[in-house]
Amino acid sequence: MELTAEQRAIERVVGEVVDDVIRPTARECDRAETFPEDAWDELAALDLTAMTVPEAYGGLAVDSLTYSVVNEAVARGSLAVATALSVHCLATSCLAEFGDETQRERWLPDMATGRPVGAFALSEPEAGSNPAAMTTEARPEGDEYVVNGTKQWITNGERSDVVVLFAKTDRDDSDTVTQFVVPKDTDGLSVGKKEEKLGLRASDTTTLVFEDARIPADARLTPVGEGLSAAFHILTGGRIGIASQSVGLGQAALDAALTYADEREQFDRKLSAMQTIRHKLADMQTRLQAARLLTRDAARKADAGEDHRMAASMAKYFASEAAVDVANEAVQIHGGYGYTTDFPVERFYRDSKVLPIYEGTSQIQKEVIARELLD
């Protein structure tokens, strides 16, 4: 799908930040399990932390295709950074779409600059793919809500300053899921366990623990009971972002495999001259381009105001699975070296495994697609 001159310019500028700032530190950040705050500040300087903030609050309010292009470009450098950025943008999307004027004025201008960092707290230890089973409760008490419960798998869990929270106002009633905005320094809110993960090791993924945390009634973003529908609405756009990141990571793996195949010699000839390797690379390119086109088609539908739920799920499902396959083949092409940290493909492979899992597993995406087809 053809990009505009402006979108190509954005792609080029982001690519320069990726090559100059993000990629050089990606290996060390992965090893040390530290987030590259300098890279975040570079992205913020380009206003990329403002992508889903309306212009009235200092944002860019980019279209879905531009958002896809940026996510793909950043993920080519580091999936951990791209994930942190997309979750921040989920939080600003929620505030932009569901917040009232006071809430928007309070949060969005500063979040557009990259600080405070946003988090999105939906999943729980026993409620991942089925968020309606959440047990976190925001019980109304006078002009406040008292929040108790634990959220899990929270990207930006440690480094965030504001949390978009989903909780039931009545723990026993699944129809009371409601969306709130909660400052991170709220008494009774603490950061729990930091997950030790296979991949995305530079991204802080934690639990958030609420113990009698009191938030004012004006922290509520949606009417009582409309939190889940709000989450699903926002996550439909988020799936385009994850599909785009899948393409970006896959492109990084393919680029690494192409470089290695052209440099490495076996049996007195380059790997790139061997038919087996050439066919692997051809398959990788084909799957990657198919994923990119599916993703940009979903973005185009979103920008046109069309129902893009099935397109977003198809893109997320296909692109995330393709990223795993492409990263796996990149490791295989590198042979034994691909299994070591001397080359980045082992990190790409580890990182890729989260893509078919978060923001809706591949199985959930198939259910969405089947429902759109059949029901």
Q: What is the pLDDT along the chain (375 residues), one digit of tens a residue?
A: 689 999 999 999 999 999 999 999 999 999 999 999 999 999 999 999 999 999 999 999 999 999 999 999 999 999 999 999 999 999 999 999 999 999 999 999 999 999 999 999 999 999 888 999 999 999 999 999 999 999 999 999 999 999 999 999 999 999 999 999 999 999 999 999 999 999 999 999 999 999 999 999 999 999 999 999 999 999 999 999 999 999 999 999 999 999 999 999 888 899 999 999 999 999 999 999 999 999 999 999 999 999 999 999 999 999 999 999 999 999 999 999 999 999 999 999 999 999 999 999 999 999 999 999 999
From 77, 97, 112, the end of a domain falls on 112
Q: Are residue 268 and residue 370 in the same domain, yes or no?
A: yes
Owner of token pair 């926002």: 234
The encoded tokens of residue 176 equal 């009371």
Q: Are residue 247 and residue 364 in the same domain, yes or no?
A: yes
CATH code for the domain of 157: 2.40.110.10
What pLDDT was estimated at residue 133? 94
pTM over 0.85: yes
Q: Are residue 277 and residue 217 in the same domain, yes or no?
A: no
What pLDDT was estimated at residue 127? 86
| Helix/strand/coil for 60 | coil
Q: Are residue 233 and residue 219 in the same domain, yes or no?
A: no
What pLDDT was estimated at residue 268? 84
Cα 340 to Cα 186, 199, 222, distances in angstroms: 43, 14, 48
Active site residues: 359
Count of the separate structural domains present in the chain = 3
The encoded tokens of residue 76 equal 């080519």
From 164, 196, 225, the end of a domain falls on 225
> What are the pLDDT digits (tens) for 9-29?
999 999 999 999 999 999 999
CA–CA separation, 52 and 50 (whole Å)? 6
